C-alpha cells in the first residue's frame, strides 16, 4: 500500500469497525462475516471474467488479491482475516500483504475447507451472525445479507473516510494521466483502439485494473452513452471525440469524461466549451443541505439555456425546459455516488433503515436523489448529445415544432459532449478532485 493511502488505513479500519458495530447492534446481530467471493466462470467454461471482490469486503481489505477470503467482525474484538493462499501451480497464489497481520487477526489457509471449518469454529461463540456476500457455507449457520443490516451499510457508504478520499485522489491522478495521453493520441489522429491503448499506458493500467470499461467514441459514436467498441479504422471526418474512462487505486475508482473537438474553431468546439463552463458553474453552487435532484434539475435549466443559445431550439430556454426538450439532449442523470463501486450503492436511499426516494418518472435514469452532505463523493457529469433514436422519437412529440431540425442535423455527426468530474462535498462547497489533478498534471 502506498504511503499516502497506507497511513490513513488504520484510522479507516477504526471508523469502519465503529460504523459496522452500530449497524450490527441496530439490526440485532452480534457478529458478521463478510466474504470476498470467488470468480464466476463463463457458461460451460473454466475461464472467468476479472475477479471483483464483494464491495463490502473491499471496504475492510483493499487488495483485489483476496479470492476466497473472509473477515469476521464482532464488535469489541479485533477483526479477523481468514485469508486463502491456495497451493496452485496454475496461478500465482495470493499471499496476505505485510500490513494485514498488523491490522487483523490474520490466519492463512491453503485449503478452502480448512478456512471454512476455522470460521465455523470461531462462529460458535456468537449467537446471531450476519453474512455479507454470496453462498455462505451451511456450516456457518449465518443469516445472509439481512436487509436491516445491508440498508445501514449501504447508506453509510456515501460518506468517505480520509483513506477512501486519498484512494480517490490517487485514482483521479492516474485517470487524468490516462486522459492526457488519450487526448494526445486523438490529436495524432489515432483510432479509438489507439486511444484506448494510450489511455491504458498513460494511466498505468491493464484492462483488469479498470473501474469500468473505457468509453472512447469518435464522431457519432460519442452519442452512444456507453459505447463499447474500439474501432481500429481512422474515420475520414474528424468532428470530435468523447472519452469516459477512469483508473482504480486500492479498489476505489475515478470516473472522468472529457470531450475534445476535431478542429479548434467550430460550433461543436463552442458547445463543448459552453457545457464545460456550465458544469463548472453548477459545481460552484454545491452546498451541504441541497438535494441532488435539485442540482440535476438546475443542470437541465442550463442545458435548456444552451439549446436556446446554440439555436438548437426556436423557443426560449424556459419553454425548452418546460417542454422537456432538455431530456432528449441529456437523457441520463447528472451523476451518482462514487467510491469502491463506480456507481456506488445507496443513491436513492431515504434513511439508514432503508426506503427509497426514486427520481420523478421524467428523470428515471438519475441514480442519486439524496441530500448532499459534507464527506460525500459523487460525479457531476452533464451531457448534451445528438442521439438519432431519441431525436426521431421527439419528432412525434409536441415539442418537435420548437426544435431547429436543420441545425440539429448539422450537429448529429459530432455525437455529443459529456464533461464529468468527481467532487468531494466540503463543509461549505465542493472540492473538484478531477480539475485539481488536471491543473497539476496538465499544465503546459
User: Given the rule CB under 6 A, which residues bind ligand GLY?
Assistant: 212, 244, 255, 336, 381, 420
Closer CB to ligand GLY, 4 or 226, in the complex: 226
To ligand GLY, the closest distance from the beta carbon of 165 in angstroms equals 19
Which CB sits closer to ligand GLY, 151 or 160? 160
Whether 158 contacts 370, CB under 8 Å: yes
b/e for 428-441, b at 16 or more Cβ within 10 A? ebbbbbbbbbbeee
Q: For Mn ion, which is the closer residue by CB, 83 or 329?
A: 329
Closer residue to ligand GLY, CB minimum distance, 212 or 405: 212
Helix (H) or strand (E) holding 20: helix 9-27
Q: What is the CA radius of gyration of the chain?
A: 24
* Burial degree of 75 (CB within 10 A; 0-12, 13-18, 19+): middle
User: Is 102 exposed, middle or buried (CB count within 10 Å of its CB: 0-12, 13-18, 19+)?
Assistant: exposed
**335 phi and psi, to 5 degrees?**
170, -170
Q: Is 205 in the site for Mn ion (CB under 5 A)?
A: no
Instruction: Check binding of 194 to Mn ion (CB under 5 A).
Output: no
Task: Return the residue of 169, 194, 220, 255 that touches Mn ion, per CB under 5 A.
Answer: 255
**Closest CB to ligand GLY among residues 231, 420:** 420
Separation in Å, CA 251 to CA 14, 127, 288, 315, 330: 19, 32, 27, 47, 30
Shortest Cβ distance from residue 92 to ligand GLY (Å)? 30
**283 to 342, contacts with Mn ion by CB under 5 A?**
none
Identity of the residue, 218 or 336, whose beta carbon is nearer to ligand GLY in the bound complex: 336
Q: Which does 212 bind (CB under 5 to 8 A by kind): Mn ion, ligand GLY, none?
A: ligand GLY
Q: Which residue is nearest to ligand GLY (CB)?
A: 244
Alpha carbons 28 and 129: distance in angstroms, whole number:
9
Residue 161 binds Mn ion (CB under 5 A): no
**Site size with Mn ion, rule: CB under 5 A:** 5
344 near Mn ion, judged by CB under 5 A = no
Which CB, 194 or 255, lies closer to ligand GLY?
255
| Contact status: 421 vs Mn ion (CB under 5 A) | no
* Nearest-approach distance from CB 56 to Mn ion, in angstroms: 21
> Could you tell me which stretch among 34-42, 128-136, 264-272, 374-382 binds Mn ion (CB under 5 A)?
374-382
Shortest separation between residue 279's beta carbon and ligand GLY, angstroms: 13
Closest CA to 271 of 224, 306, 319: 306
The C-alpha atoms of residue 225 and residue 215 are separated, in whole angstroms, by 8
Q: How far is the CB of 426 from ligand GLY (least distance, A)?
A: 22
Binding residue for Mn ion (CB under 5 A) from 191, 308, 379, 422?
Answer: 379
- Residues at the interface with Mn ion (CB under 5 A): 244, 255, 379, 381, 420
Amino acid at each position: 500500500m502506498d504511503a499516502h493511502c497506507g497511513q490513513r488505513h488504520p484510522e479507516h479500519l477504526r471508523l469502519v469497525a465503529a460504523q459496522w458495530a452500530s449497524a450490527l447492534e441496530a439490526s440485532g446481530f452480534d457478529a458478521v462475516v463478510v466474504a470476498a467471493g470467488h470468480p464466476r466462470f463463463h457458461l460451460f467454461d473454466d475461464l472467468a471474467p476479472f475477479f471483483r471482490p464483494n464491495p463490502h469486503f473491499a471496504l475492510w481489505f483493499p487488495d483485489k488479491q483476496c479470492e476466497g477470503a473472509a473477515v469476521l467482525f464482532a464488535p469489541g474484538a479485533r477483526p479477523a482475516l481468514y485469508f486463502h493462499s491456495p497451493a496452485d501451480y496454475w496461478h500465482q497464489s495470493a499471499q496476505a500483504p505485510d500490513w494485514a497481520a498488523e491490522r487483523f487477526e490474520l490466519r492463512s489457509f491453503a485449503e478452502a475447507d480448512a478456512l471454512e471449518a476455522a470460521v465455523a469454529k470461531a462462529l460458535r461463540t456468537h449467537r446471531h451472525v450476519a453474512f455479507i456476500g454470496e453462498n455462505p457455507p451451511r456450516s456457518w449457520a449465518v443469516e445472509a445479507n439481512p436487509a436491516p443490516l445491508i440498508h445501514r451499510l449501504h447508506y453509510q457508504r456515501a460518506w468517505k473516510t480520509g483513506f477512501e478520499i486519498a484512494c480517490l485522489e490517487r485514482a483521479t491522478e492516474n485517470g487524468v494521466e490516462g486522459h492526457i495521453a488519450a487526448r494526445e493520441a486523438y490529436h495524432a489522429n489515432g483510432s479509438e483502439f489507439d486511444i484506448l491503448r494510450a489511455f491504458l499506458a498513460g494511466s498505468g493500467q491493464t484492462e483488469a485494473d479498470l473501474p469500468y470499461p473505457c468509453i472512447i467514441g469518435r464522431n457519432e459514436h460519442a452519442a452512444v452513452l456507453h459505447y463499447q467498441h474500439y474501432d481500429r479504422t481512422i474515420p475520414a471526418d474528424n468532428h470530435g471525440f468523447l472519452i469516459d474512462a477512469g483508473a482504480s487505486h486500492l479498489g476505489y475508482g475515478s470516473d472522468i469524461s472529457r470531450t475534445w473537438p476535431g478542429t479548434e474553431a467550430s460550433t461543436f468546439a463552442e458547445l463543448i466549451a459552453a457545457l464545460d463552463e456550465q458544469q463548472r458553474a453548477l459545481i460552484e453552487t454545491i452546498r451541504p443541505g441541497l438535494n441532488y435532484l435539485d442540482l440535476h434539475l438546475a443542470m437541465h435549466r442550463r442545458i435548456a439555456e444552451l439549446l436556446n443559445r446554440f439555436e438548437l431550439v426556436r423557443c426560449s430556454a424556459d419553454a425548452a425546459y418546460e417542454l422537456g426538450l432538455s431530456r432528449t439532449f441529456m437523457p441520463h442523470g447528472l451523476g451518482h455516488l462514487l467510491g469502491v463501486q463506480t456507481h456506488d450503492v445507496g443513491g436513492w436511499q431515504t434513511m439508514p433503515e432503508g426506503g427509497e426516494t426514486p427520481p420523478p418518472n421524467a428523470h428515471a435514469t438519475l441514480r442519486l436523489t439524496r441530500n448532499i452532505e459534507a464527506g460525500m463523493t459523487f460525479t457531476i457529469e452533464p451531457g448534451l448529445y445528438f442521439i438519432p433514436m431519441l431525436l426521431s422519437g421527439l419528432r412525434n412529440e409536441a415539442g418537435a415544432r420548437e426544435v431547429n431540425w436543420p441545425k440539429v442535423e448539422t450537429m448529429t455527426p459530432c455525437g455529443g459532449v459529456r464533461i464529468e468530474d468527481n467532487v468531494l462535498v466540503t463543509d461549505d462547497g465542493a472540492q473538484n478532485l478531477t480539475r485539481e489533478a488536471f491543473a497539476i498534471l496538465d499544465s503546459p
